[in-house]
Structure 1
Amino acid sequence: MGEILVLYYSRFGATARLAELICRGVEEVDGMAARLRTVPPVSAACEASMPAVPESGPPYAELADLEACDGLILGSPTRFANMAAPLKYFIDGTSGLWLKGTLSGKPAAAFTSTASLHGGQETTLITMLLPLLHHGMLLTGLPYTEPALNNTRTGGTPYGASHVAGARSDQPVSDDERTLCLALGRRVAQLALELKRGRA
């Protein structure tokens, strides 16, 4: 059984909803499973610390999750057209894996949510993909052979799945956004499966 790590940060729940849909897409591929992980928030207060286990939701990610995965899908809300600091902080701590080439040759993708339609979705996705290029990962997005990419009037980009959550993060995931999340999960899982078979 292969495994795709779906790793995200979500403050108000919109990005978490996308992560769950992407996991469903991963698990639609026979022989593949999703491992859902999050990262803790960061604090400017030096004495602040988080419990080792979150109060709710998936466990916090560890480097071992990255070592074990056959593919990676990163998710973050937009922060001034960039990934959120907690996810960046975690990724910045992966240099040991980079030195060993642990993620090299594995498929990867990204997803995001924004408050508004033009809130920096594509640039946020690109900021998440750049460190994965340094890791030697094989990046994939969403091709226009996915009809929902042409039909969407909400989120969805060729750089990855996305969602327009609204100013209060209370907008439901649209049908097209849902379709593209599932497609992204399936796409990465299928690529990982084919790569595993090629190495067997």
Structure 2
Amino acid sequence: MTKVLVLYFSKRGNTQKMARLMARGVESIDGCEAMLRTVESDLPDAEKPNDVVVCEQDMIDCDAILLGSPSYFGNMASPLKRFIDSTGNLWFSGAMEGKPAGVFATASSLHGGQETTLINMMIPLLHFGMVIVGLPYSEKSLLYTQSGGSPYGATHWAEMESNRSIDHNEKQLCLAQGKRIAEFAKKLRTT
């Protein structure tokens, strides 16, 4: 079974909803399993996680990773960054090298730093030696989205009160990204 770690932090539940869509995309590929994981938070007013909290072994055991976060000033949320910063021995050992990786994000405003958050999340994955997999423009929702999505990864515009639902194009991009990373992981695992 090809395992894709869908690792996220969600303060208001929007990034979690995206993670669940990513997991559905992953599991639409025969022989692929999504490992849905989150991180502990010390941020005020963050919702309690109801998914399993990630451990370093999950990173080792996966064949690919999808990393998701709300955008905080164009960067990933500190709870997710804190976990990534604690995995230096994975970098040192090369445990993540060659595995495909993708990123996804949410933000409160339409121009709230989603793309810089995606790029900033790619940096530690590149340091791990992972292979970044984006979304190609053959995904037609990239051409028609008026809210979230980019070739760097799926995004969602949640609005200021975090009450805007994931729209059709955003949903399609999440499903497509999960499917795409699973296909890459499966191909790399069999070579």
Question: Does TM, normalized by the shorter one, top 0.5?
Answer: yes
Distance in 2 between residues matched to 1:35 and 1:184, nearest whole Å: 15
Question: Aligned to 1:7, what secondary structure does the other structure show?
Answer: strand
Instruction: Please list every run of 5 or more consecutive structure 1 residues that lacks an aligned counterpart in the other structure.
Output: 45-53
One-letter code aligned to 1:146:
E
The residue number in structure 2 matching 1:3 is: 3
One-letter code aligned to 2:35:
R
CA shift digits 1:113-164 (9 cap, x unpaired) = 0011100000000111000000000001111111000010110011101000
Superposition map of 1:149-168 within 5 A? 149-168=142-161
For the 8 Å contact 2:40–2:49, the answer to whether it is kept is: no
Distance in 2 between residues matched to 1:119 and 1:55, nearest whole Å: 24
Instruction: Please list every run of 5 or more consecutive structure 2 residues that lacks an aligned counterpart in the other structure.
Output: none
Question: Aligned to 1:111, what secondary structure does the other structure show?
Answer: strand
Aligned residue pair count? 189
How many angstroms does 1:42 deviate by? 3.0
Across the aligned residues of Structure 1 and Structure 2, the Cα RMSD in angstroms comes to: 1.3
Q: 2:61 aligns with which of 56, 59, 68?
A: 68
The residue number in structure 1 matching 2:38 is: 38
TM-score, normalised relative to structure 2:
0.96
The residue number in structure 2 matching 1:194 is: 187
Larger radius of gyration: 1
For the 8 Å contact 2:24–2:175, the answer to whether it is kept is: yes
Change (3 A) 1:31 1:71: same
Superposition map of 1:126-141 within 5 A? 126-141=119-134
Q: 1:114 aligns with which of 101, 107, 113?
A: 107
CA shift digits 1:39-69 (9 cap, x unpaired) = 011369xxxxxxxxx9551111000000000
Question: Aligned to 1:118, what secondary structure does the other structure show?
Answer: coil
Question: Aligned to 1:73, what secondary structure does the other structure show?
Answer: strand
Distance in 2 between residues matched to 1:158 and 1:102, nearest whole Å: 27
